[in-house]
A and B are shown apart, each in its own frame.
Chain A
Amino acid sequence: MTFDRSNLEHVARLAMLDLSDDELDSLAKDLDHVLSHFEAIQKIDVSDIDDTDLAKTITTPLRADTPAGSLSNEEATKQSARAEGGLFVVPKVIG
């Protein structure tokens, strides 16, 4: 399949990325080129690997559920471009 500008516009919306007109053109071309090279993996027989095989080596470590220290409110909000009263301030979400 080919990957064109309309595919890219859809993916850019999903990725929350503002792209310029020039970027839409050049990145669509780049991704089309990259994906056509990556078609090679479609030819590899993976029928012997079950979907559930992929999770078999992963284990989740557990720890005791005991309270521990963390960043203070001040430290956690210090790097924000806009924070007030220990909260992150963002543009209005509901009109």
Chain B
Amino acid sequence: MDLTRATITEIAAALDAGSLASTDLVEHTLRETGRLEPEVHAFLHVRDRESLLREAKESDAARRSGGVTSPLAGIPVAIKDNICTIGTPTTAGSRILEGFQSAYDATVIEKLKAAGALILGKCNLDEFAMGSSTENSAYGPTTNPWDPARVPGGSSGGSAAAVAAGMAFTALGSDTGGSIRQPAALTGVVGLKPTYGTVSRRGLIAFGSSLDQIGPLARCVADAALVFDAIAGNDPRDATSADIATGSACDTLHDSIDTIRVGVPRQSWGEGLDAGVEASVRSALDQLGPAVAEITAIDLPLLEASIPAYYLVATAEASANLSRFDGVRYGLRDKQAGTLDEMYKRTRGHGFGTEVKRRILLGTHALSSGYYDAYYLRAMKVRRKIADDFARAFETCDVIALPATPTPAFPIGEQIDDPITMYRNDLYTIAANLAGLPAISIPCGLHDDTLPLGVQLMAPRFEESRLLRVASHWEAKLGTLGRPPRISANGGDAR
């Protein structure tokens, strides 16, 4: 079995049959991370071999005694480093949290552990999940396994690259404006952002609390569904957690989609969409067509306006959320300061990177006296109108299909000093966050036969089962990307 490409379903079957052991999976991931990490830098921390092997042996023993029920049992999972985990650092990619050790596991980690999964390590990200390229990490960028000169997308770029390069079997990311789906698209993996409130945010370091959602990055739709089923569910310790039973997405994955009506926003084909991306998405839609009831054009007239609405709302929330990083209770503290105010200012001035400062300042301005109505309140009203547009669209269609990104992966350094160009990478993804909808990106082809592209599906709130069912059928129609990323194909020319 090729463990760099095998699905969790295949691996779980081999584990059950006894032809593979969890210890083999640990050995594989440690060998691959050792070989590929010098070039990819997907991880900020990989747990020690001894602990991982001990847990794997325990998992194998449990399986032999019939004590294993979840397909995730014994599978090492990579975790974005803004999700709190006991026993490893949790840095959120920021200097201000360098060396921070969480006193508790996030609810998603508790759930993964309850399912028997092993926590492999912590993945690189844009600082506090603010970015679309993983270049904003205080610990250096992650590279794209398809082309080391290019970004893997962001902010869950480490999680995406770890899965794409075959180092991780699956990974958790977080998605505030596209941070799971965009890197999934740019690295050729599957990325699911669940409905807001479906997966607990307890233990996720908050960026935009009304937008953030944890979800899986995976090798295939079925793997994403397995991880989603394991981490979803009401959490009384998250006040925004929805108390709605969505049922197992895995159970209905292969049900027919022949009654599904697919809506494609006319606004998808606007300015800024790369011609190669458009061709790939249109071709993918052609392949989906025969399997569904109909594909029709719909309108999302405020798609373009979702960018300013999002960046005003998200930064306003971030400015409040990041006020907790003041040097008092955890993280970096400036020790030269003579007064408390000076300590706050100097700690934050030294601890935060440029993009985080930019967003805190933008959000503070949007909330400040004299500007609140013009920026934050207006952005919230536009957000409501966008949600209303989706509600209207879903009266005539069951899912919405559109590109995941306007372009393929771009070169490292190309957009880092141009915030507006960088923010436009989120054009097709942020509306789902503003409306709280579930959305998924699946690979749909290679741009110029070199770089992966993604196509995206959105569904009404709490309709993950429908979303994943359509995605699974579509994935089967599209087939694989045809070949592995360069780094896997070459065996990793680690420098």
A13 to chain B, nearest CB (A): 9
> Of the candidates B312, B319, B349, B362, which one forms a contact with A31 in the assembled complex, judged by CB atoms under 8 Å apart?
B362
The docked-state distance in angstroms from the alpha carbon of A80 to that of B344 is 14
Q: Does chain B have a CB within 8 A of A91?
A: yes
User: Would you give 17 A-B contacts (Cβ < 8 Å), ordered by A?
Assistant: A11-B368, A27-B354, A27-B358, A31-B358, A34-B311, A40-B304, A42-B374, A44-B302, A44-B378, A61-B236, A61-B241, A77-B329, A79-B101, A79-B103, A81-B332, A81-B335, A91-B343
A42-B378, A81-B335 given. 7 additional CB < 8 A pairs?
A15-B319, A18-B348, A34-B358, A34-B420, A46-B378, A53-B384, A76-B103
The contact of A11 among B308, B343, B364, B379, by CB within 8 Å, is B364
Q: Which of A15, A33, A61 contacts B361 (CB 8 A)?
A: A15
Show the binding face of B for A, using Cβ within 8 Å: 100-101, 103-104, 236, 239, 241, 243, 302, 304-305, 308-309, 311-312, 319, 323, 326-333, 335, 337-346, 348-350, 352, 354, 357-358, 360-362, 364-365, 368, 374-375, 377-382, 384-385, 419-420, 423
The 7 lowest CB-CB distance pairs between A and B, nearest first, are A18-B349, A81-B333, A79-B330, A38-B308, A46-B381, A18-B345, A49-B381
Complex-state Cα separation, A46 to B380, whole angstroms: 10
Give min CB distance, B45 to chain A, whole Å: 16
Chain B residues in 8 Å Cβ range of A42: 374, 378
Is B419's CB under 8 angstroms from A88's CB?
no
Partner of B349, one of A11, A17, A38, A46: A17
The SS class assigned to the B binding surface is helix
Chain A residues within 8 Å of B309, by CB = 41
B243 contacts A37, CB within 8 Å?
no
**Do B361 and A8 touch (CB < 8 A)?**
yes
Q: Are A40 and B385 in contact (CB under 8 A)?
A: no
Flag if A33 contacts B419 (CB, 8 Å). yes
A27 touching B343 in the complex, CB below 8 Å, given contacts A79-B331, A90-B328: no
CB atoms of A75 and B103 under 8 A apart? yes
- Given B239, B361, B380, which contacts A17 in the complex, CB threshold below 8 Å? B361
Q: Which of B312, B338, B380 contacts A91 (CB 8 A)?
A: B338
A residues near B364, Cβ cutoff 8 Å: 11, 14-15
Within the complex, the shortest CB–CB distance from A76 to chain B, in Å, comes to 7
Contacts of A11 in B (CB 8 A): 361, 364-365, 368
Task: Categorize the interface residue count of chain A.
Answer: 35 or more
Chain B residues whose CB sits within 8 angstroms of the CB of A31 once the complex forms: 358, 361-362, 365
Q: B329 to A79, Cβ gap below 8 A?
A: yes
Chain A residues in 8 Å Cβ range of B349: 17-20
**Complex CA–CA separation, A78 to B374 (angstroms):** 43
B417 CB to closest chain A CB, in angstroms?
9
Find out whether the CB atom of A23 lies under 8 angstroms from the CB atom of B357. Answer: yes
Over the window 28-53 of chain A, the binary record of Cβ atoms lying under 8 Å from chain B Cβ atoms (1 yes, 0 no) is: 00110111011011101010110101
Alpha-carbon distance A50/B244, docked complex (angstroms): 28
**Which residues does chain A contribute within 8 Å of B374, judged by CB atoms?**
42
A31 to chain B, nearest CB (A): 6
Q: How far is the CA of A46 from the CA of B312 in the complex (A)?
A: 16
A40/B305 in contact, CB under 8 A: yes
Instruction: Decide yes or no: A91 and B342 within 8 Å by CB, A17-B361, A41-B305, A49-B385 being known contacts.
Output: yes
Q: Is A80 a contact partner of B330 (Cβ separation < 8 A)?
A: yes
A33-B461 Cα distance, complex, nearest whole Å: 35
A32 to chain B, nearest CB (A): 11
Of residues 46 through 78 on chain A, the ones whose CB sits less than 8 Å from some CB of chain B are 46, 48-49, 51, 53-54, 60-61, 63, 71, 75-78
Q: Which residue in A16, A37, A49, A92 is a CB contact (below 8 Å) of B339?
A: A92
Please, how many angstroms separate the alpha-carbon atoms of A10 and B319 in the complex? Answer: 15
Q: A41-B308, A63-B236 are in contact. Are A54 and B340 (CB under 8 A)?
A: no
For B103, the closest partner residue in chain A by CB is: A75
> Is A16's CB under 8 angstroms from B344's CB?
yes
CB distance from B365 to the nearest CB of A (A): 5
Q: Are A51 and B360 in contact (CB under 8 A)?
A: no
A58 smallest CB distance to B (angstroms):
9
How many whole Å from B147's CB to the nearest CB in chain A? 28
Out of B236, B312, B332, B345, name the residue touching A16 (CB < 8 Å): B345
Residues of chain A within 8 A (CB-CB) of B308 are 37-38, 40-41
How many angstroms between the C-alpha atoms of A27 and B362 in the bound complex?
10
Rounded to whole Å, the gap between the CB of B358 and the closest CB of chain A is 6
- Report the separation of the CA atoms of residues A92 and B342 in the bound assembly, to the nearest whole angstrom: 11
CB distance from A54 to the nearest CB of B (A): 5
A49 to B379, CA, bound (A): 11
Per the bound structure, the CA–CA distance linking A14 and B372 in Å amounts to 14
Chain A nearest CB, measured from B327 CB (Å): 7
Contact B239 A60 (CB under 8 A): yes
B340–A91 touching, CB < 8 Å: yes
Closest Cβ neighbor of A43 among chain B residues: B305
Q: Please, how many angstroms separate the alpha-carbon atoms of A8 and B365 in the complex?
A: 9
